[in-house]
Each structure stands twice: as structure tokens, then as C-alpha cells.
Structure 1
Amino acid sequence: MADPTSYFTGAQRNLLPEKTRDLIGRREHALGSAYRLFYEQPIEFVRGSGTKLYDADGVEYLDVYNNVQSVGHAHPRVTAAISDQSALLNTHTRYLHRGIVDYSEQLLATMPAVLDTVMYACTGSEANDLALRLAKHATGRRGVIVTANAYHGTSTEVAAISPSLGGTASVADWVRIVPAPWGDGVGWADQINDAIASLDAAGHGLAALITDTIFSSDGVLPGGPAGFLRPAVDAAHAAGGLFIADEVQAGFGRLGAGMWGFARHEVVPDLVTLGKPMGNGYPVAAVVAHKAIVDAFGHDVRYFNTFGGSPVQIAAAQATFDVLRDEALIDNARRVGGYLVDGILEVAGGHDANVAVRGAGLFIGVDLCTPAGAPDGDRAIAVVNELRARRVLISASGLHNNVLKVRPPLPFSASDADRFLTELDGALSAV
């Protein structure tokens, strides 16, 4: 499987400043080859503020990629909350602490009533790992269905359901892969049923269908008509399986229509996983579930996470939650996201017709194709690196690595969007 188009290959190593070459060499020696760097000319960042990042020479870059710092880099309310709580106490969930209860009640209030219990972890990978454990325990089965280029994390369990990491050969034998959904979802549900039949025939049965609710790694697919995921979810339920909504990337208002991506599809998951933007860069994650699922699991299995739900984690999550509300960032994602989609369509139309744009809120995918209509990963790598040269940061995704991934922090403004559109226009011209 090809690497994502934005990774450093070393082809331009000799063109880099000596200090950058030295740092890359030391990193390679210390960290090994499993790690990756963005861009053919990697950047050393030392500071962030809002939607901007600054390199070691003080040069400013526009961040159109990082959804981890969802309410903006180094947001003063979040950093203050982390600092203040660190100065007071940081233990674990085996002691009473009012903060975790207050935050949990507020978080659960944003979910459908049936999702009434939350369990904490540190990363999206841990959350998805825990969700699989819950699903397998609840159903007594082990089979899982994922999409063709899905990414759900890096633990042994969730790497085994993440074909984007190592291709289809890397998934476990209890996993079945289906294409990313299309149309009204009926044809996709037929493929879900075929996958269920295959799992049954192999003796695995279906424990869970898991999807990222924006299908980010599959190329940013916001979906067809409202409810287009329902036939697939119904098929999973009919087979006795659960539906896990992976909101690690799409959640917390990024899609500009409420807090959660699954709501756009008019489905109610059995389990919801949260991560990346939850603490604005501080590692906090969670699984939200029905109490009966959690209680049955807890009766048989002891769950504990040393840092999951710690007072500092919760302080970061609470401050992020508060900023999201107080600064009306979900509405901003809707407004600026719509402005961006219109602008990208206009810019792309000035170059050629082989560009497709789709998105929801501030999560946008831009397909780059050849004149014959084939996915154009080579062009994507050129655009990603050209934008980096213009001090604008994006990445790429999709099965063929030809989809520009536009996913900025949620305070992204109309003026930020104008800057991005100007540089995108220049980058498309340059390549």
C-alpha cells in the first residue's frame, strides 16, 4: 500500500538547511523508520496560536489540517485549566472527584438518551479498543466490519481493523472489509449483509459494524441523503451486532451540525468513541454507551485506566467543551465551512473540471483526478507540498491518496479561508 501523499521521502534531503538535515538524521536514529514526517521539506514548529503555527525561525503557517487543537492552538482557557488543575491535584478515578461527574453529565446531555454512560481513556485508539471489547462481550461474537481504507487506531486490536495502516492483508481474519458507502445506502447495506454472511460462515458472527462518521480515511465522505447509513445499521442489528460510531475525528461540532456526526445520518449508535479534539491537544478520550452494556461488562471484567478520567484530563476536556459553546464554534464551522466549499469549487473551476469537492462543516475533501477521471495521487502530493511552500498546511487521504484533506481548527475565520483559497489557486496553477 502506498504511503499517504504528504509524507517525507528524503528525495529533497540535500536541499534542506543543514540544521534541518541534522535534526532529521538524529530523529531517524533515535525513533526509527516506523515514524513519518509530513512534507518533502519537513518543518520544525515551536509555537502555535489559534489557527497559526510558527517554525523555529518565527515564520507563520496557516493550519488547515490539525483537528486535535479543535478550539485553536494554545487556547488560553484550555492551557489555564490544565495548568491550574496540575498545580492542585492529578490522581485517578478510584478517588471521588467532582470534575469528572460534572463533565460527564454535560457530555451525556449532548447524546441520545439511550447513551447514558461514559468510560474514559487517553486516546482514540484506546477508546476504539475498549469499544470493541464491549461489543464482543455484549454479543458473544468477534466479527467486525470496516470500510476499505478505514483507520481506527494503533493498538493491536484496532490496528487489525484499520486497513489504511497496512492494506487489506493486514486486517485480522475476523474482519470483513466493504467499500465506503455511496448513494442512498441501500446498495451498501447489501454489501454489509454479504459481509455478515461471510463472518457467520467462518464461525465469527458479527460483533460490530464500526464507521468513522465522516469516512475520513476513505476520502472524506459526508454521505448521501439523511439516514443513508440506517439500512446498514439495521442490517448489523438484525444480525445481532452493534453499531460503533467513531467520532474521534468528526465529533465535537466539526461537521457544523450539532455535536456528533452520527446525528447527521439519523442513526443512534450502540457505542460512540471520542478522542482527538476532546481536550484540545491534551490526551483524553472516551466511550459512550448504554448502561446495560457497561454494567454487564463491568460485572465480568475489571476496567481501569490510570490516566483516563484524571482531574487534569477532565479539566482540559471541560475547558474545551466550554470554549466550543461560548465561542459558538459549531456555528462557525457551518458558516466558514460552507464558504470554503463554495470557494474551493470556484478556484477549482478556474483550472479544470477534474476536481470534486465535498464536505460538512470544517471537514472537506477535494478529489484530484486525471483528465481521464482516474485518481491523481501524484498531483495531490504536488499540491500538498506546494501549499507547504506557500506556508499553508494540509494533508491528503483516500484509498488512492488523491483527496486533499481540509480540516482546520474550528476558529478558522473567513479571512483564514480567503488566504487558503488564494494559496490553493496558486498551488493548482503551479502544479
Structure 2
Amino acid sequence: MALLTLGINHRTAPVEIRERVAFTPERMAEAFSELRAASGASEAAILSTCNRTELYLAGDDDCAPAVLRWLAGFHELDVADLEEVLYVHRDSEAVRHMMRVAAGLDSMVLGEPQIFGQLKDAYSLAREHGATGSFLSRLFEQTFSVAKRVRTQTAIGENPVSVAYASVSMAHHIFADMSRNKALLIGAGKTIELVSRHLADAGVRDFLVANRTLERAQALAELHGGKGIVLSEIPDHLADVDIIISSTASPLPILGKGAVERALKKRKHRPFFMVDIAVPRDIEPEVGSLADVYLYTVDDLRQVIEENIRSREGAAREAENLISSGVQEFLDQLRALDAVSTLKVFRQRAELLRDVESEKALRALRNGVDPETVLRSLARGLTNKLLHQPSVQVRKAMAEGRTEVTECLRELYQLDALEADEPTTTEKL
């Protein structure tokens, strides 16, 4: 079984490309159906976050070219443009990559914990669509086990600095005393929930949460004594807020340049601080060109995040060692399973030959042939049948110079030990 991972992430592609390659929840069913048909892969899973889009595939052949063409076509991109930012990992390197992703070693924020949950969600979604089988299921389970080992046995997750934390840290550069500022959070998922906690810790007391579903917005806002609204109400409240942080799964921008311009006039040009964590982006890029607007995307948070990386380099080295062990464990499991499968076929073949020779012997006995003759014929026939094909293949291998085959044969049947146990000519006499 061949394993393949194709993807783009924050290192290989800017947000302008990542947002075009992101998979929206509404198109996941369509994507799974088309991906497996186009690639010929027997199993597939899709991970799509603000920082990466990755496809995990298992099948009999290398389907990378077919998957690349499908991915470009699905997102209406030029194949050549996508190929420039795409990475491909195969077999053991694909296993290592998935484990590094799950442990947060491939994240913009080294050791960030959110990606572990996102990968688990990706696996669950693939299972719901019937896209995974025994191979990917085994890989995901081993990956989750190794990632948990990394979390518990290293300091990679201590004092976590997430994208949410980095967003709030940058807000301090604009507003010295954040207790005087009002925040608008767009979305109500895990990232925005984390943002709300960091803002509250930074002193923000006035919260407004906007979401497509009012109930979700209210539930999150109430945690900090704030108010929930629906997305369509954002323009009515925009002039009253100072900090805007957005992270939704919307395929189209939620906040446009016109609405921000009108709000700025009402604010008499008091500045806005905005962070758009979403991919695809929630805030039109043109908003960043307005005076008195400080607009950042996930790609702009690198400075805060790089400080975090430097503080975790020792833990990262320990984590890499654990992942190497995890990769080897998985490969050993596959080899063991392959051995079981091979032995099963080997035994079935031997049993078929046994049944054929046994039936021949029984017919001879029913016809009155001497039992001793039948027994000797059965033993001779079964031995010849069992040894014929291996003998042919050994001779062929030796003629081709593949001496390792005879070494394997000697090991399998312990022929060296048998030769050592045989009595010498003198002993026989």
C-alpha cells in the first residue's frame, strides 16, 4: 500500500493562495467523492485550516500527478501555479510529516495544540464520508498516540503561544491600556473562544461577538459579560469598537471596505486594530489601505511567533526523537501485518496441496490399494508438490546472481543447524 501526502502551508504559500485552496464544509462531500475517483486512491482524508491544506491518500499506485490536476481543477487554479507551492511526501516521509503536524512541529506557532484537534476532526470527517479504510485509520490512530506522547513527555506545549495569543499581543502595540477598548469578535469557533480569553486577560471588558448563528454568539459573549449579534448587524456596531478579530469558515468576505470607511467617519478617525485569522479571509484586503486601520493577517504574526519558536527549540529536538520512534513503530506494524498476510496465503496454498493429495490417497484406499503403498505415495507426492515451486524459484534466483534467496531459505528452514546435527561418515560407521 502506497501512502501519499500533498499540501500547501504557511511556509510554501501566502494567504492569497491558501485561501483559494481551502475546502469549505459545504463542499467536503463533493471533494471526497471527486478526489477518490480522480486519483484512484482507495482511502483519503482532507485537512484544511487557516495555515494548511493537506490531502492524505492510500492506494496501490503513486497518484500525485492525478491529485495535483484534480486539486487545481477543483479550486479553479492553474496547475503550474499550484505546483510551485505544493509539497509531496511519500510512504515513511508521509508518516513522519503527519506526526509532526499533529504534534505542532510543523505549525507557524511551534507546539500549538489546536492542530491536534483539527487533525482529529479531519479524520472523523473522512470516516463519516466512508473515505478511510484500515490503512489510514491505523496511521491516524498511531499519529494521535505519538502526538500525545510528545505533549506529555516534552515541554513543547508549555506556555503556549497561539495565533490567538499573537493577535492580542499585537493589539498592545496599538492600545496601551486595553481596558478602555471594545472588541468585536467575528465567529464563535475554538479560535475566537481562545481570542476572547486572551483579550479578557489583557484587560478588555467590553465584548461584542458576531456569528451566523445568534445562539452561538450569545453563548460566547456571555462568558465575558458581552453581547451576541448576527453577522448582518456588524455595520450597525462597527463604529463603537476598537479591536476586530475575525475567524470564520465563510467562503466570502464578511467585512468590506465601504462599511469600514463609514465607521471611520463616525469615529472621527480613531484607529481600528484588525486581525483576520480566517482562510479564506473574512476582511477585504482593501480595508488595509485605509488610513487609521491596522489590518493584519495570519502571515503578519510571524515576529511574535518566532520568539516562541526560539524558546522551544530544546523541546522540539526531544519531540523529533519521539516522532522518529513513532514512525519506526508504525513501519514495524505494517511489516508485521504484511507478514501475517503472506503467511496466511502460504498456509492456504499448503493446505490446498494437502487436500488434493489426501483426496488422491483416499481414492486409492477405496480402490483397495495397499495402505503402506498409499501412505508412501502420499508423503512423496505432498513433498514434491510443496518443494517444486520453491526449488524452481531458487534455481532461477541463483542463475540471476541473487544469492540472498538461498541465504533466506537456509534461515527459514534452519538448514545450517540441520547440517551441524548430521553425523559425520565416521560417526555413521
Report the TM-score range of the alignment, normalised by the length of the smaller protein. Answer: under 0.3
Higher helix proportion (structure 1 or 2): 2
Q: TM-score, normalised by structure 2?
A: 0.28
Larger Rg: 2
TM-score (norm: length of structure 1): 0.28
Work out which structure has the larger RCO, using CA pairs closer than 8 Å and 6 or more positions apart in sequence: 1
